Amino acid sequence: MSTTNDTLEPPFTPGPWHVNGRQSIRGPHGEYIARANWKNGPANALALAAAPALYHALSRIVSGDNGEGAYQQAVEALAMAEGKA
Protein backbone atom coordinates (compact mmCIF):
# COMPACT_ATOMS: atom_id res chain seq x y z
CA MET A 1 0.00 0.00 0.00
CA SER A 2 1.37 3.39 -0.98
CA THR A 3 1.75 6.08 1.66
CA THR A 4 1.35 8.94 -0.81
CA ASN A 5 -1.46 9.87 -3.12
CA ASP A 6 -0.48 12.04 -6.07
CA THR A 7 -4.08 12.78 -7.07
CA LEU A 8 -5.24 13.81 -3.59
CA GLU A 9 -8.31 11.66 -4.17
CA PRO A 10 -9.09 9.84 -0.93
CA PRO A 11 -9.54 6.07 -0.84
CA PHE A 12 -12.74 6.61 1.18
CA THR A 13 -16.06 8.43 0.80
CA PRO A 14 -15.26 12.06 -0.09
CA GLY A 15 -16.09 14.74 2.47
CA PRO A 16 -17.08 16.88 4.00
CA TRP A 17 -18.42 14.61 6.70
CA HIS A 18 -20.50 15.84 9.60
CA VAL A 19 -21.88 14.56 12.88
CA ASN A 20 -25.61 13.93 12.75
CA GLY A 21 -27.05 13.78 16.25
CA ARG A 22 -24.34 12.92 18.76
CA GLN A 23 -22.56 9.90 17.32
CA SER A 24 -23.58 9.30 13.70
CA ILE A 25 -21.27 10.44 10.91
CA ARG A 26 -22.82 11.36 7.57
CA GLY A 27 -21.34 12.22 4.20
CA PRO A 28 -21.95 15.31 2.07
CA HIS A 29 -25.24 13.94 0.72
CA GLY A 30 -26.48 12.55 4.02
CA GLU A 31 -25.16 9.06 3.36
CA TYR A 32 -24.28 6.99 6.41
CA ILE A 33 -20.52 6.73 7.07
CA ALA A 34 -20.20 5.36 10.61
CA ARG A 35 -21.42 5.51 14.16
CA ALA A 36 -19.13 6.12 17.12
CA ASN A 37 -20.42 3.74 19.79
CA TRP A 38 -18.03 3.92 22.68
CA LYS A 39 -17.40 5.63 26.00
CA ASN A 40 -16.37 8.88 24.27
CA GLY A 41 -18.77 8.50 21.36
CA PRO A 42 -19.53 12.18 20.69
CA ALA A 43 -15.84 13.18 20.79
CA ASN A 44 -14.90 10.18 18.66
CA ALA A 45 -17.62 11.14 16.17
CA LEU A 46 -16.09 14.62 15.81
CA ALA A 47 -12.65 13.12 15.17
CA LEU A 48 -14.05 10.68 12.60
CA ALA A 49 -16.04 13.40 10.84
CA ALA A 50 -12.84 15.46 10.49
CA ALA A 51 -11.01 12.61 8.71
CA PRO A 52 -11.50 13.91 5.12
CA ALA A 53 -10.40 17.43 6.05
CA LEU A 54 -7.38 16.10 7.95
CA TYR A 55 -6.51 13.83 5.01
CA HIS A 56 -6.55 16.70 2.52
CA ALA A 57 -4.58 19.06 4.78
CA LEU A 58 -1.91 16.47 5.47
CA SER A 59 -1.76 15.46 1.80
CA ARG A 60 -0.98 19.05 0.85
CA ILE A 61 1.71 19.39 3.48
CA VAL A 62 3.33 16.01 2.73
CA SER A 63 3.40 16.83 -0.98
CA GLY A 64 5.48 19.92 -0.21
CA ASP A 65 2.70 22.52 -0.31
CA ASN A 66 3.72 24.38 2.83
CA GLY A 67 2.04 27.63 1.89
CA GLU A 68 -0.28 29.59 4.15
CA GLY A 69 -3.31 27.88 2.65
CA ALA A 70 -2.07 24.41 3.58
CA TYR A 71 -1.27 25.48 7.12
CA GLN A 72 -4.66 27.17 7.55
CA GLN A 73 -6.43 24.10 6.16
CA ALA A 74 -4.63 21.96 8.77
CA VAL A 75 -5.57 24.36 11.58
CA GLU A 76 -9.23 24.28 10.51
CA ALA A 77 -9.23 20.47 10.25
CA LEU A 78 -7.79 20.15 13.76
CA ALA A 79 -10.42 22.57 15.10
CA MET A 80 -13.10 20.42 13.47
CA ALA A 81 -11.70 17.26 15.11
CA GLU A 82 -11.71 19.04 18.47
CA GLY A 83 -15.28 20.27 18.06
CA LYS A 84 -14.22 23.91 17.87
CA ALA A 85 -15.31 24.56 14.29
pLDDT at 18: 94
DSSP per-residue letters across 17-82: -EEETTTEEE-TTS-EEEE--STTHHHHHHHHHTHHHHHHHHHHHHTT--SHHHHHHHHHHHHHHT
Structure pTM?
0.79
Cβ-count burial 31-55 (b if 16+ within 10 Å, e if not) = eebbbbeeeeeeebbbbbbbbbbbb
Distance in angstroms (rounded) separating the CA atoms of residues 58 and 3: 12
Q: Where are the domains of the chain?
A: 41-85
Banded model confidence at residue 3, pLDDT cuts 50, 70, 90: very low
pLDDT per residue as tens digits for the range 27-79: 999 999 999 987 888 999 999 999 999 998 988 888 888 777 888 888 999 99
pLDDT at 85: 81
pLDDT at 7 over 70: no
